[in-house]
Amino acid sequence: MSRPQKLYVKSYGCQMNVYDSRRMADTLAPLGFVETATADDADLVILNTCNIREKAADKVYSELGRIRALKENAASDGRCVVVAVAGCVAQAEGKEILRRAPAVDIVVGPQSYHRLPDLLARAARGRVVDTEFPIEDKFDHLAAPTRAATRARGLSTFVTVQEGCDKFCAFCVVPYTRGAEGSRPAAKIVAEIERLTDAGVREITLVGQNVNAYHGDGPDGLPWTLGRLLYRVAQVPGIARLRYTTSHPCDMDDSLIAAHRDLPSLMPHLHLPVQSGSDRILAAMNRRHTRADYLHVIDTLRAIRPDIAFSSDFIVGFPGESEDDFLASFNLIDEIGYASAYSFKYSPRPGTPAAELPQLPDEVTSERLSRLLYAIDRQQAVYNARCRGLALDVLFEKQGKLPGQLVGRSPYLQPVQVMAPPELIGEIHKVTITDLGTYSLFGTLARAAIRTPELAATGV
Ligand code: 5AD
Ligand code: SF4
């Protein structure tokens, strides 16, 4: 009997890549591929790449340099290592990757992952590139995970419901690499989630590049909004928590807002990137909304779900950003009172409109980034400090670093560390927050009763 082939998949970038990496592993499993944690002993290495900023794309080439050495070492031991580049760099650069990186055998774009078994067979005869947008739906052809694989991946998982983007923000490469918006049919998403919860998954995050533009076919023959989908998914037995990411402020429609009012399992946390607090820059970015529009969405959500927490992405140093424009972003952090936020230096991406504009000097951008990071950290500390003394529902996910410690998340996505027995993994318990770390909270188990939303709804 031949030995199982080892597969190493490394994922860069967003949660959609994490999801795709798992589906690639599931699709290769029937061919005898078993996942391994390092590239060192792998027979097939897949780098699932991100192209959102230059730094992310550059990382791929430095990793490919290391993998080339590894491949040569393996070859001198008579072992053949196949190297595939997947994801958004594959889509954007295609054949160019073969030219720059001699170790690469396969380049595969995000819409063609279901063709991996065929690409592997073809790679035995020579290097292959597949960056088409095929007619067939890859989701219909990617294999589902086994129960064992699902369990090994933990209790909280991502499910892609939507891909691509039609918004064309002036800085963003996504509409070019991931293509036009497309949504999976609701019934297929529900069936996938039923399989996951049946294998023990408790928390599902619906993901999409522009998830709240979801408009998949419903079983009633009508297009469903994300709100409508969430109402349906919330009925799946075993679901304790629901989240979705990443959203655009213009697509927060009434059904989605109502879902935050009506669904106890929909967590009171929303990642709603604003990118800039300045109307001038928002217009230059082609964001299609103003600062006031954004604040209105936040106010509407707070009116129906007062404890809802927000996080955001900010870009600093977009072409033409003045000190006043920057200060408008800076001020928004306190004004909204974010639970957390990410900030990025603007990175000109080839083919996007903003890359053609005159760029700001790097010193200006770097200095603004450090001021913004400081403001974000300070705001996050303020937010977390408000949680001290509160009893929060924590879904325990895994063992912590210390013996006897468990780690879970609050409804607001904060990591919470608690001394608690391992039997509580997979359950939701009240935790009284006693201490604050830099990015996580510490607490004590408030009481032993299990308070999943289903049980809470029945008054247990
Ligand atoms: N430069 C810097 N940041 C970017 N993002 C997207 N494109 C760029 C770019 N060209 C950021 C946005 C987005 C997040 C995923 O990445 O803030 O919300
Ligand atoms: Fe990129 Fe804008 Fe689409 Fe988000 S909404 S993926 S930032 S183009």
Q: Is 264 helix (H, G, I), strand (E, B) or coil?
A: coil
Contact between 220 and 257 under an 8 Å Cβ cutoff? The reply is no
Ligand 1 pocket by C-beta < 6 Å: which residues?
52-53, 171-172, 273, 275, 313, 315, 344, 346-347, 349
Residue closest to 369 by CA, chosen among 312, 294, 440, 318: 318
Q: Whose CA is nearest to atom 5 of ligand 2?
A: 167
pTM score, two decimals? 0.93
Proximal ligand: closest to the CA of 247 = 2
Q: Whose CA is nearest to atom 17 of ligand 1?
A: 313
Contact between 384 and 414 under an 8 Å Cβ cutoff? The reply is yes
Question: Which of ligand 1's atoms lies nearest the C-alpha of 14?
Answer: 15
Distance CA 268, CA 272 (A): 12
Q: Which amino acid is at 81?
A: V
How far the first Cα of the chain sits from its last, in Å, is 53
Question: Which of ligand 2's atoms lies nearest the C-alpha of 209?
Answer: 6
> Tens of pLDDT along the chain (460 residues)?
456 899 999 999 999 999 999 999 999 999 999 999 999 999 999 999 999 999 988 899 999 999 999 999 999 999 999 999 999 999 999 999 999 999 999 999 999 999 999 999 999 999 999 998 887 788 888 999 989 899 888 999 999 999 999 999 999 999 999 999 999 999 999 999 999 999 999 999 999 999 999 999 999 999 999 999 999 999 999 999 999 999 999 999 999 999 999 999 999 999 999 999 999 999 999 999 999 999 999 999 999 999 999 999 999 999 999 999 999 999 999 999 999 999 999 999 999 999 999 999 999 999 999 999 999 999 999 999 999 999 999 999 999 999 999 999 999 999 999 999 999 999 999 999 999 998 899 999 986 544 444 444 433 3
Structural domains of the chain in order of their starting residue, each with its CATH number: 5-130 (3.40.50.12160), 144-385 (3.80.30.20), 391-458 (2.40.50.140)
Q: Which of 52, 173, 177 to mutate to test the pocket of ligand 1 (most atoms within 8 A of CB)?
A: 52
Tally of CA atoms within 13 A in the half-sphere of 8 that contains its CB: 16
Q: Whose CA is nearest to atom 16 of ligand 1?
A: 52
Proximal ligand: closest to the CA of 211 = 2
Q: What are phi and psi of 45, to 5 degrees?
A: -115, 125
Ligand 2 pocket by C-beta < 6 Å: which residues?
165, 167-169, 172, 174-175, 209-210, 248
Could you count the other beta carbons within 10 Å of the beta carbon of residue 333? 21
| Ligand 2 center to 313 CA (angstroms) | 11
Which tokens sit at 26? 């599931």
Contact between 338 and 383 under an 8 Å Cβ cutoff? The reply is yes
Proximal ligand: closest to the CA of 348 = 1
Q: Which of 171, 321, 332 to mutate to test the pocket of ligand 1 (most atoms within 8 A of CB)?
A: 171
What does each C-alpha distance from 53 to 60, 311, 318, 357 come to in angstroms? 12, 20, 13, 17
